[in-house]
Structure 1
Amino acid sequence: MTAADRAADAVAAIDAPDVVVAVTRRGVRTVLTGGTAPPPPAGRHALRYELGSLSKTFTVLLLAALAGDGAVGTDDRLTAHLPRPAPPHRTAHRITLRHLATHTSGLPRIPREMVPGALLQPYANGYHGYGTERLLHAFARTRPRPPGTRWHYSNFGLALLGCALARATGTAFPALLTRRVLVPLGLTGTALEPGTTGTDALGHRADGHTPVPAGSMGAFAPAAAVRATPGDLLTFLEAHLDPGATPLAGAVRAVQVPQLRHGAGRVHTHTLTWFRHPAPGGPLLFHMGATFGQQSFIGFHPASGTGVAALATRRGRACRLTSTAYELLYALCGDAAGG
């Protein structure tokens, strides 16, 4: 079965108003689209999609780039790059930028003050209007678990990482990410804020019908605000498959180095930003994301030069995006290993 055949099967298996599945194999691209809604005039492949937590892979790549230039150190204390007064809890002062990137900071997923709203209104954007000062106040009130002792996924931590990088360089985070990551990699279809009508895909709730308009992510932009075209995601993946062809070679290589193992029996490997699983011929690396109305997945298999990006404008397990995209990538790894 060809890569195009497998990609077509994946498009058919994902249930959403708009679906894009894009594959790169040693530089040869295949982009297929589908969905239950009428396609937009410009085509689904031309829209920018909300990446949700895939944004973290961009932010941590920024960390690696700045560390490579000596602007920050990966093992710098977080509080060294935040304004005074310092948080009162001693454990907070032990958190490093590496802890934030690898979800080992001891911080909760989101500030505790946001939990009631998230539970009562799961489709309401509680991040909108949540500014940097509020984020820093929340950090000051939080007593983290001892950093480095457990893996716990944290949007809170990545938001603080973005804040620290911005303050360390004296540059607002969107401008910093654009200058140090997006421009060097040629990602002209990637941004952190919604665009004009017709440029961005419209998300939907779990029912696949109720629209979810785009919104700002406030201080949590480093954790979840990036939106990109399928073509840009393939370019991003190709940079990771062939770091030497990019101006960010050292940083791209650095984010792929295994950092820790976690989960039951410590069977899961995590790099500075990617989840890493065994696969035929060598490991595959991946990350997934979701916003209030969209879902995304990207992953790559360095041994075979294969990358997969999948996007859908529906939020919910019934969409089947993550499992389908992961299975597609794994199958393509097997095809390559089998000759």
Structure 2
Amino acid sequence: MSRPTTAGATPARTASSSEEDLRRRLDDAVAAADAPDAVFALSRHGLRTVRTGGTGPPPPVPRQDLRYEIGSATKTFTGLLLAHLVHDGPLTGGEPAAALLAPGRQTRVTDVTLTHLMTHTSGLPTLPADFYIRALPVWRTNPYAPYSRERVIDAFLRARPRHRPGARWHYSNFAVSVLGHALAAAFGEPWEDLLARRVLAPLGLYGIASRPDGPAVDATGHGKDGRTPVPPFDPGGFTAAAALRAAPHDLLTYLEAHLDPPPGTPLAGALDAVRTPVLRRGLDHRHVHTLAWFRHPLGEGRAMYFHGGATFGQQAFLGFRPDTGTALAALCTRRFRLRDPFVATAYALLAED
């Protein structure tokens, strides 16, 4: 394994014992990821420390400058977009998605609203019923690619919700993908363009994209063995649920905005809204969710917000804690394995005081 390295850390000066301890803990996290490339980027009150390393050879650019696939952590961006469109208008969140996608068509999903889709309470399954049949021929390469935007929309309009919308929580890539297409229909522009204009540009996040493009160098994902490269992830029609790729410092900028919105940002109201609990589930309602984030209580009124993501060759963990002013972006280029330490390590880092 290559030695963990520092990037984007504090200006040159004598490191305090607390800073040295933080670097050591981040180095341990990099080693625990056991991936060809790993980055643990932490910000505390705006002061950033980034540690990198990996079991593979050094990439063509420093690991902290690579752009990584963040998988389902994309959903937090879609949630922030919806919150912004509701807070600043013209949406309320209560609009039926089917009415935006197929005006006048009679369907069984007539009562499924934009908010139901984002909060995983639509009654839709994790993926469309016919997804697996279409995905099998390319399961080991890009199973989402054959399922286009048109197929996602058609599957939604033909769907039979498993329960009344708003009644139960069930995590659904399908639902958030439909939301992206419904927002695109409402505003007459692709989800990617709407997100770039209304969320990414106001936060200065010009390097985040939904596909390999421009001068950015994208990280190469690997299979469970940590050695076999896999192709870049193609989300097909599931863009709003899993398409984004981003560099660690851009992700820290995004997370820091949730802790301390930039002065004058048009997203201030939305950034506050996505920290507000909207539902509780599970035994004793212990699991709390906002429009975009999982929210876990830490006692004494404190809480951490987080979301994970994985593609077929990379993993991501994003989180922040308002009580400590901490943001964490953890990334690695290895497919999720049984008893994988990556998410647990990142979660534990964020949970520490």
Aligned CA RMSD, in angstroms, stands at 1.8
Asked if structure 1 preserves the Cα contact closer than 8 Å seen for 2:177 and 2:241, the reply is: yes
Partner in structure 2 of residue 21 of structure 1: 40
Partner in structure 2 of residue 287 of structure 1: 307
SS in 2 for 1:34: strand
Partner in structure 2 of residue 337 of structure 1: none
Shift of 1:121: 5.8
Number of equivalent positions = 330
Counterparts of 1:106-125 in structure 2, within 5 Å, are 106-116=123-133, 122-125=139-142
Distance change >3 Å, CA 120–CA 87, structure 1 → 2: farther
Q: Which runs of 5+ in 2 are unaligned?
A: 1-17
- Which of the residues 122, 147, 160 maps onto 1:105? 122
Distance change >3 Å, CA 196–CA 175, structure 1 → 2: closer
- Which of the residues 182, 204, 207 maps onto 2:225? 207
Partner in structure 1 of residue 9 of structure 2: none
- Which of the residues 307, 315, 323 maps onto 2:335? 315
Distance 1:214 1:57 in 2: 21
| Equivalent AA in structure 2 for residue 216 of structure 1 | D
Deviations 1:154-189 (A, max 9, x none): 011001100111111111111111111111111122
Shift of 1:126: 2.4
Deviations 1:253-295 (A, max 9, x none): 1111001111233210000110000125610000000001100
TM-score w.r.t. length of structure 1:
0.92
Asked if structure 1 preserves the Cα contact closer than 8 Å seen for 2:296 and 2:305, the reply is: yes
Shift of 1:197: 8.4
Distance 2:29 2:273 in 1: 31
TM-score w.r.t. length of structure 2:
0.89
Asked if structure 2 preserves the Cα contact closer than 8 Å seen for 1:103 and 1:152, the reply is: yes
SS in 1 for 2:121: coil
Q: Which stretch has the larger CA shift, 133-142 or 20-29?
A: 133-142
SS in 2 for 1:20: strand
Spell out structure 1 runs of 4+ moving beyond 4 A: 117-122
SS in 1 for 2:237: helix
Deviations 1:224-274 (A, max 9, x none): 000000000000010000125343100111111001111233210000110
Distance 2:26 2:134 in 1: 38
Deviations 1:127-168 (A, max 9, x none): 214222211211122101211111100011001100111111
| Equivalent AA in structure 1 for residue 347 of structure 2 | Y
Partner in structure 2 of residue 303 of structure 1: 323
Q: Which runs of 5+ in 1 are unaligned?
A: 335-339
Distance change >3 Å, CA 125–CA 49, structure 1 → 2: same
Percent sequence identity is 53
Counterparts of 1:148-227 in structure 2, within 5 Å, are 148-195=166-213, 199-227=217-245
Q: Does 2:276 correspond to 1:260?
A: no
